[in-house]
Amino acid sequence: MGIIVQKFGGTSVADPQKIHNVAKAVIREKENGNDVVVVVSAMGHTTDHLIKLAKEVTSTPDSREMDMLLSTGEQVSIALLAMAIQSHGYKAVSMNGQQVGIVTECIHSKARIVDIKTDKLQKKIEEGNIIVVAGFQGVTPDGEITTLGRGGSDTSAVAIAAALKADRCDIYTDVEGVYATDPRIVPNIQKTDVISYEEMLELARVGANVLHPRSVETAKQFNVPLRVRSSFKLDNLGTLIIGVDNMEIYKPVAGVAADSSQIRILLSELPDIPGTAAKLFGSLAKSNISVDMIIQSLASNGTNSIAFTVDAEDFESTMTTLEALKAELKAGEILIDKDIAKVSIVGAGMVDRPGIAADMFRSLAENNINIKMISTSEIKISCLVEKENAKNAIKALCKEFGLESTESADVKGDLPDV
């Protein structure tokens, strides 16, 4: 007997029939003797439809008004899911972000949660209700409606679980759990039963899109046990994500992922004087651009070259920043490489086992895959390769580190929305 927070994405509530399926999964948890809070996203393509409407009104919709607009999507699905649960004879009540009191900063379209009021939630739970909460949305202390941006609904669910000190937060998706890599690339991949927050975070950062890192970070911060599980196979426990301290054993490599969304930028012939890198990356940071891999090298003529990667969606603003800086930095050329992919291996056990990096480089070399850049963290090693080699690299690394299974992974439909 405890509190379970469940989260269902947009594809799970895409039509009335699917909403009834979700209602059954919710009721199942209630019948297990738990109090249930269920967080849902907007139905199917509702958000896309609303964005399209706004774009028809103006090419530059105001972000406050966009939040007002988009937050209606989740309000529709919570009302319908509450009705569906009630139609099966259970007490249910829907609550939007404002009603719960999911308090956020006043940054429209990507607000962060600063507080979740639990008094109304607790009261409705004590009255025997299943609570259906609108994900992805919040309210500022001034009563302005905000949305949480990417990964918002998962983050809503985890934050509510943290606030209610829930026993667990179950993220229902189209897949059966977390796989060591994308099953569309390596069909006979192992499903992971338990993985640490830290490993999930690294996997998410390097391109695995089962969970948005933001939700995992929140779970880690408040130590909320997360379960990624299938909407279709309710008996399957999926993958449990917990703190590394709570794990008894872990593999040296828990997962392999590739990220093809990055672009490599090389500034050549920079004068070798102090402060160049600081100026460059300081300016990019000021423009809110996250830089991923960085390599600086000294050329034979005494000039420096700096190569770094940015996310494709930050490319335009990166170029604007660089053009403005070019003269000041006295840079020679700016070279762009879009045909790259970052292939990474992640594992909390890496730190105890020397030679994992060498195994990775050797495996890639044996498969004729050239490495353009390398970066490492305590539990991750990333190699930049030609985009066309990314899938082969993943296959080779899954084999190298024993992540294959004797069975094929069962993947229904698309990967979940994050």
Question: Cβ 417 to a second copy, closest distance in Å?
Answer: 20
Exactly one of 28, 45, 110, 120 binds a second copy (CB under 8 A); that residue is 120
Q: Which stretch binds a second copy (CB under 8 A): 64-72, 209-217, 311-319, 338-346?
A: 64-72
Helix-strand-coil percent breakdown of the chain, rounded to 5? Answer: 40, 25, 35
The CB-of-31 to a second copy minimum distance in angstroms stands at 20
Nearest to 3 by CA among 103, 124, 85: 124
In the complex, minimum distance from the CB of residue 18 to a second copy, in angstroms, rounded to a whole number: 11
β-bridge pairing 130-134 and 92-95: parallel
Backbone angles phi, psi at 377, to 5 degrees: -130, -175
Least separation in angstroms between CB 66 and a second copy? 7
Least distance (Å) from a second copy to the CB of residue 42?
A: 10
Residue 117: CB minimum distance to a second copy, A: 11
Question: Is residue 76 a contact residue for a second copy (CB under 8 A)?
Answer: yes
Binding mask 89-118 for a second copy (x = CB under 8 A): ----xx-x-xx-------------------
Q: Which of residues 239-258 bind a second copy (CB under 8 A)?
A: none
Residue 226 interacts with a second copy (CB under 8 A)? no
Interface residue with a second copy among 71, 129, 146, 262 (CB under 8 A) is: 71
At its nearest, how many Å lie between a second copy and the CB of residue 44?
12
Nearest residue (CB) to a second copy, 61 versus 243: 61
Nearer to a second copy, 42 or 219 (CB): 42
Question: Within a 10 A sphere around the Cβ of 80, how many other Cβ atoms?
Answer: 21
The structure tokens 């189209």 sit at 174
Q: Which is nearer to a second copy, 49 or 184 (CB)?
A: 49
Q: Judge contact between 230 and 8, C-beta under 8 A.
A: no
Query: Does residue 177 contact residue 229 with C-beta atoms inside 8 Å?
Result: yes
CB nearer to a second copy: give 67 or 176. Answer: 67
| Tokens standing for residue 190 | 């192992």
* Residue 27 in tokens: 């009721």
The CA distances from residue 282 to 199, 275, 322, in Å, are: 29, 10, 12
Stretch that binds a second copy, among 82-90, 102-110, 180-188, 242-250 (CB under 8 A): 82-90
Q: What Rg, from alpha-carbon coordinates, does the chain have?
A: 23
In the complex, minimum distance from the CB of residue 76 to a second copy, in angstroms, rounded to a whole number:
5
Total residues at interface with a second copy (CB under 8 A):
38
252's tokens: 């040296």
Task: Please pick, from the candidates 11, 12, 41, 75, the single residue that binds a second copy as defined by CB under 8 A.
Answer: 75
| C-alpha span between 334 and 305 (Å, rounded) | 10
In the structure encoding, which two tokens stand for residue 56, read together? 């028809």
For residue 87 the two structure tokens come to 């139609």
Looking at 164-244, list the stretches that DSSP marks H as alpha helix, in order from N- to C-terminal side. Answer: 197-205, 213-222
Indicate the residue among 82 and 208 with the shorter CB distance to a second copy: 82
Residue 72 touches a second copy, criterion: CB under 8 A:
yes
Residue 324, CB-side half-sphere exposure with 13 Å CA sphere: 11
CA distance 276 to 274: 6
∠ Cα 56 61 63 (to 5°): 145
In whole angstroms, the minimum distance from the beta carbon of 86 to a second copy comes to: 6
Q: Which residues inside 122-161 make contact with a second copy, applying CB under 8 A?
A: 143-145
Where is 87: in which H helix or E strand? helix 63-87
Contact 7, 169 (CB under 8 A): yes
Q: Which two tokens stand for residue 228?
A: 């990624």
Query: Of the candidates 36, 80, 175, 189, which one interacts with a second copy according to CB under 8 A?
Result: 80
Helix axes 356-366, 390-400, angle to 10 degrees: 130
In the complex, what is the shortest distance from the CB of residue 366 to a second copy, in angstroms, rounded to a whole number? 56
Nearest to 156 by CA among 28, 21, 38, 13: 38
Least gap, CB of 229 to a second copy (angstroms): 24
Note the residues at the interface with a second copy (CB under 8 A).
16, 19-20, 50, 53-54, 56-58, 60-62, 64-66, 68-69, 71-72, 75-76, 78-80, 82-84, 86-87, 93-94, 96, 98-99, 120, 143-145
